[in-house]
Structure 1
């Protein structure tokens, strides 16, 4: 896995480059102090993974992420925690809050590699059929039955959705809006631009996040009122 670093702080770029050399992870093929240089790089090259700072002059990381090719995964690196929710709604793989250590960096890189492997292995996956109780997903010339009751949550990732079930993860080529329309059960609630949650699997929640066993998902601002009203009023 190849990666590039975009950060306007020279010391931050050098430190991240050094940390990536110390851990098991991607090879750094570019390091840029501003987004214009990175944009030029993308016109001629490809990168599997982008480490992207948020607070930069002229164009912020949150603005530039829209110009990054869909084939590249993004990990935000920033000293500002208030952008975490927005970053996940932009299909970011992870959000590293400076200063972070090698262990946290390794965890983010492993997550990116895992998602990259899933996408590479499942590009032909598609939703073939839906009923009142299950979905049929086609993958590698086989058809898989996915019971709605087994789905914990569904994650939007680029042009795909990643269905997290109790026992496995399955990718299908479609967006969150489309798959939400295929699921007839009211227990599936859209909680952000990137996530649909099966409320039957919710362990706890507050105004900003939802916990499902060992997974914590953010609640998007525009979805918060509907989620809290629906869930706390006992309508599900």
Structure 2
């Protein structure tokens, strides 16, 4: 995750850099005392995340935030809590008030990391081979959904509905194709244009339908070969 720091106080920049060195997934690409130099880097290089102060002499951080591309996430780091509402109205990823504890900083990093994974499905920000969950945005927040908790996933136009083993339905603004690309093939299998199922959740099946906890899911003709191949082995 490529990051830059913008803060007019040298000690504040140094402190942030020292904390960020403890996170191997964070790469510091630059540290700036003014927004003008930082903007040049953002325009020349793909920056994932900006740590941005607010009260700066040349340009207020809230004003500068409006110049940052939408694909670049922002975490405000400031000594002024009164700007928090304005910060979140600018869709900042987080708002940290100095002095920031390492634990609080870690939570902000994790939140940004998860959001970047949603925005860039092809961009692996951590080792997917050991990951046992997926982060999805639902109900205006990021939610961690463990693979074993997902029974099946249903397409709903440009959205997807995750049906879980506690009878919850989680609706996320990811289409089924995108969601399928993010899920491991050894756990999930697509069974029609509108459904993905967790392999271990299948109770029974026929030539045209799959039963999962009394729910009947259609098995598409073009998906039958792969489905039967897995279960016959």
Query: What's the TM-score once normalised by structure 1's chain length?
Result: 0.54
Q: Please give the per-residue CA displacement for 1:18-46, whole angstroms capped at 9, x wherever unaligned.
A: 10002354110110000111111122112
Q: Return the offset for 1:104.
A: 0.6
Residue in structure 1 matched with residue 50 of structure 2 by the alignment? 50
Q: Please give the per-residue CA displacement for 1:131-154, whole angstroms capped at 9, x wherever unaligned.
A: xxxx9343xxxx63589xxxxxxx
Q: Please give the per-residue CA displacement for 1:140-187, whole angstroms capped at 9, x wherever unaligned.
A: xxx63589xxxxxxxxxxxxxxxxxx65462369xxxxxxxxxxxxxx
Q: Please give the per-residue CA displacement for 1:172-216, whole angstroms capped at 9, x wherever unaligned.
A: 69xxxxxxxxxxxxxxxxxxxxxxxxxxxxxxxxxxxxxxxxxxx
Instruction: Report if the CA contact (8 A) 1:53-1:76 is conserved.
Output: yes
Instruction: Report if the CA contact (8 A) 1:65-1:90 is conserved.
Output: yes
Q: Which runs of 5+ in 1 are unaligned?
A: 123-134, 148-165, 174-236
Residue in structure 1 matched with residue 119 of structure 2 by the alignment? 119
Instruction: Report if the CA contact (8 A) 1:6-1:38 is conserved.
Output: yes
Residue in structure 2 matched with residue 170 of structure 1 by the alignment? 172
Query: What's the TM-score once normalised by structure 2's chain length?
Result: 0.55
Which runs of structure 2 are paired with 1:188-207 in the superposition (5 Å)?
none
Instruction: Report if the CA contact (8 A) 2:79-2:98 is conserved.
Output: yes
1:71 and 2:71 equivalent? Answer: yes
What is the number of residues matched between the two proteins?
140
Of structures 1 and 2, the one scoring higher in RCO (CA 8 A, sep 6+) is 1
Give the match's secondary structure for 1:22: coil
- 25 and 79 in structure 1: CA distance in 2 versus 1, 3 angstrom threshold: farther
- 104 and 169 in structure 1: CA distance in 2 versus 1, 3 angstrom threshold: farther
Q: Which runs of 5+ in 2 are unaligned?
A: 123-154, 176-233
Paired with 2:169 and 2:53, the residues of 1 have a C-alpha distance of: 35
Residue in structure 1 matched with residue 18 of structure 2 by the alignment? 18
Give the match's secondary structure for 1:104: helix
Displaced runs of 4 or more, over 2 A: 135-138, 143-147, 166-169
Query: What is the CA RMSD across the aligned residues, in angstroms?
Result: 2.5
